[in-house]
Amino acid sequence: MIFRLWFFIISFCVPAFAMDVQVKDKSIQDFLPWLAAETGNSLMLSPAIKVNLSLSLTGVSWSELIESIATQHKLDLAWSENTAILMPKALISDEPKSEIEGQGKESTPCVTRFWHLEHALAEKVSQHLKRLYPDLVTSFDKRTNSIVSRSCRELHALEETVTWLDSPVRQIEISARIAQVQNATEKQIGVEWQGQMLGDTLSTAEGLVDLATTGATSGLSFAVTKSDDLLALNLSFLESNGLANIVSEPKIVTAEGQMARIESGTEVPYQTKDDDGTRVEFKQAGLTLEVIPFVKKGDKVQLSLKIHQDAVGEMYNGVPSIETNRINTQVVVGNEETLILGGIYRDEVWESMSKVPFLGDLPLVGALFRQQTQRQEKVELLVFITPKLLQMSYY
């Protein structure tokens, strides 16, 4: 009998071993425990297994070796985290049966199943199965995205659960447009408010719609429209006339139930002094949009929204203040419908210039034909959000 074993480290972070193994007519009870100890792997081997091994394998991993032995000798193999469990099939099916038959009841033999998942992550599905079936022995393999389970109950319900958890996930494209408009210009944009936020509900002509809102949403108005192109055209017209300012137009794709986050802004520097001297610190100001979409019946999309619009305010002792506008709510809209949220106001300084054509552009004397005005007005933050359902995908 000859043992020949070579191994090398293929990752300096997580060592993995590739082995060339040659063994002839060697007891499994002697060989596998020794090999597990040599390679730093965990093994649970039933003493009921009485077979001799004859192997000639090149470049195999520990898991591949164990799977090969289990297949060759028709053994039951299961994994509990990184521990390989080898037991004879007869022992797994007969022991529970004899115990239950001793009580005069019909039994279901224990069965080991392998599932290769097409859409869901094996780790997540394994976690769900452990919570749903506490007596289920299950483990997962990231490399093959597979699940191994052993159960002594009827498999029909388990198979239905795995099939349901492995169902494909929808992808949703989230298009957002954040604009600041002068007060009383909503009608010029084409917005007809359909309701107002009252506590945790939206009030509409059809009644109260529960939105499960959180945060400060008092006075929040909303509208839903399918005319997104017309809205964009009207907004562009108002912006060109100084009546609106499109802050941002982010777009992102995410899977159902997964949070999409967009950040756009600047870090405002300011100086501070302490015992060590003067140093520069920063405050974040800008736009943050967080969306978690869920697909409902009829191609409806439930949106869980968190929108923060922060801007630099006045200076206090050399430190800038941050003025914050926030929307935190949930709402259901149709596919490719545009949700419009408003009702958040702030005072803004607007500057404009009027001039006589040609004369106002002349050097030196041009200032006589130009007029600059500065006015302070109340502006409203409008958020336009359009979900679009895409093809099925993985998560």
pLDDT one-digit tens code per residue, 44-71: 777 778 889 888 888 888 888 888 898 8
Integer-rounded Cα Rg, in Å, for the chain is 33
* Residue 63: DSSP 8-state: H
Would you list the DSSP string of 188-253? HHT----EEEETTEEEETTEEEE----SS-TT-EEEEES-HHHHHHHHHHHHHTTSEEEEE--EEE
pLDDT one-digit tens code per residue, 273-326: 777 777 777 777 777 888 888 888 788 888 888 877 777 777 777 777 777 777
- 297 φ, ψ (degrees, to nearest 5): -60, 150
- Pair 174, 389: CB distance under 8 Å: no
- The residue ranges of every structural domain in the chain are 19-165, 171-393
- Give how far Cα 255 sits from Cα of 168, 174, 240, Å: 10, 10, 36
> Which residues are 39's β-sheet partners?
none
pLDDT one-digit tens code per residue, 175-187: 888 887 776 555 5
| Calpha distance 337→363 (Å, rounded) | 51
More confident residue, 56 or 206: 56
| Calpha distance 367→217 (Å, rounded) | 46
- Pair 195, 213: CB distance under 8 Å: no
More confident residue, 114 or 155: 114
Residue 108 confidence (pLDDT) = 54
Residue 173 confidence (pLDDT) = 92
The residues near 205 (Cβ < 8 Å, ≥ 6 apart) are 194, 195
pLDDT one-digit tens code per residue, 138-192: 888 888 888 888 777 666 777 877 887 887 878 899 988 888 777 655 555 555 5
Mean pLDDT over the full length of the chain: 71
pTM: 0.49
19-165 CATH choice from 3.55.50.30, 3.40.50.1010, 3.40.50.620, 3.40.50.1370 = 3.55.50.30
Region of poorest pLDDT, from 39-53, 230-244, 302-316, 365-379 = 230-244
pLDDT one-digit tens code per residue, 20-35: 888 888 888 888 887 8
Kindly give the pairing relationship between strand 169-182 and strand 137-141.
unpaired
